[in-house]
Amino acid sequence: MDSKNNQSSAARILVEFLEVAITSVVFLKGVYPSDAFERRRYMHVVVQRARHPLLRDYIHSAVSGLLPFIQKGLVERVAVIFFDSDNIPLERFIFKLAVNQSNGSKVEEGDLEFSLRSFLVKLSVSEGLTKVLPRDCRWEITAYFRSLPHVSTSKDAELWIPTDTKQWQQPPLITPIKSMSSEPLSLQLYMEHPSLSEPKPQEGKNS
């Protein structure tokens, strides 16, 4: 397996993992009734899977649309943002990725899976760290790129639209959930909450 393939297989595993992890986050936050999910097993851990095809598709298409960009090393962060009816974010789950392109050594899929599994385990028990969301909140997946991709590089990119979600005025409070650094992939999951000094009636710019 040459390095290119190696790296792309890591990216593929990562994308698959992100799909599961994002579903877990959404489940964890209770945006939808728990009936909307069903128990499945992934990497030998019990995870949730969305039953509603639209929800499933949204997560799947969003994440798999990222694959080419992750392979190119363009994606810096993938955020799951929960925001209220005014588009003001309440809580953000950030997956910060660093795919090391230079890595020549072979990735042991087993090792990678082992590391990623710890995210899922940790995520399932970190409800206490999160904030209770109001009833009418919504959520979205946002990806932060190192540089802007071309709109029509692939069909998938067209699925991505500029976000309307506002941004916080103050630097947020960060609560790490899990970090993993292995070759060729480093991943960190942390939460961002608005800073205590964040002005309540916000007039933020659109991102």
Partner 1 sequence: MSFDSCRSSSANSSRKSKRSLNNSNSSNNKKSKQKTLGMAWGANSLSSSRSSFRNSPFSNFSSYMAEKNRKLQHQFEAEASTSSHNGSSSGNLIFQGVSIFVDGFTIPSNQELRAYMLKYGGRFENYFSRHRVTHIICSNLPDSKIKNLRSFSGGLPVVKPAWILDSIVANKLLGWVPYQLDQLANNQPKLSAFFTMKGNPIPENVLTDEACQVNLDPFFKGGTPRDANISEVGEPMRDTEQVDKLFDDPKLQLEEPNSSSGKSSEVKIEEPSSSDAEDGNSVNNNHQSSPDQLSASVSDHCLLNQSMKESPSSESVGPSNQRHSTLGDPNFVENYFKSSRLHFIGTWRSRYRKRFPSSSSDFKCRSSDLITSDNSQKSTIIHVDMDCFFVSVVIRNHPELHDKPVAVCHSDNPKGTAEISSANYPARNYGVKAGIFVRDAKALCPHLVIFPYNFKAYEEVADQLYNILHKHCNRVQAVSCDEAFLDVTDTDVGDPELLASTIRKEIFETTGCTASAGIAGNMLMARLATRSAKPDGQCYIPSERVDEYLHKLPIKALPGIGHVLEEKLKKRNVWTCGQLCLISKESLQKDFGKKTGEMLWNYSRGVDNRLVGNIQESKSIGAEVNWGVRFKDLQDSQHFLLNLCKEVSLRLQGCGVQGRTFTLKIKKRRKDADEPAKYMGCGDCENLSHSMTVPIATYDVGVLQRVTKQLFGSFCLDVKDIRGLGLQVSKLENTDPSKQGLERNSLRSWLTSSSGITGKGCSINSMAKERARIDSEVQNINGSSGQLFPDQTGFSAQMDNNSLSGVSDPPPLYHLDMGVVESLPPELFSELNEIYGGKLTDFIAKSRVASENINIYSCTSSAEGKELAVDGGKGPLASDMIPLDVIMVENSAKQHTSKEAQAGPSRAGLQNEANCSVSPGNTDLMPSSLSQVDVSVLQQLPGELRGDILGQLPAHRKQESTSNAELHPLSENLEGSLNIKITENQPNSIASVLNTNLWIGSPPQWVDKFTVSKCLILKTLAQLYYKLGLSGSLSPILQCIISECLYPSDDSDAWGEEATYDLCELFKQYVKIKMELDLEEVYVCFRLLRRLTTKSKFLLHVYNIVFPYLQTSVGENYGGDLHI
Compute CA distances 82 → 46, 171, 181, 203, whole Å. Answer: 24, 17, 27, 18
> Using the 8-state DSSP alphabet, how is residue 133 labeled?
P
Question: Which residues, 36 to 75, sit near partner 1 by CB under 8 A?
Answer: 67, 72-74
Tell me if 85 contacts partner 1 by CB under 8 A.
Answer: no
Residue 40: CB atoms within 10 A of its CB come to: 12
Tell me if 104 contacts partner 1 by CB under 8 A.
Answer: yes
Strands 173-181 and 138-145 come out as: unpaired
**Count of residues touching partner 1 (by CB under 8 A):** 43
Tell me if 177 contacts partner 1 by CB under 8 A.
Answer: yes
Binds partner 1 (CB under 8 A): choice among 32, 55, 56, 100: 100
Interior angle at CA 177, CA 121 and CA 64, nearest 5: 70
Q: Compute the distance between CA of residue 194 and CA of residue 41 in angstroms, rounded to an integer.
A: 34
Radius of gyration of the chain (CA): 17
x/- track of binding to partner 1 for residues 123-162 (CB under 8 A): -----------------------xxxxxx-xxx-x-----
The distance of closest approach from Cβ of residue 164 to partner 1 in the complex, given in angstroms and rounded to an integer, is 20
Nearer to partner 1 among residue 46 and residue 173 (C-beta)? 173
* Interface ranges with partner 1 (CB under 8 A): 2-5, 8, 12, 67, 72-74, 96, 98, 100-104, 146-151, 153-155, 157, 171-179, 181, 186, 188, 190, 192-193, 195
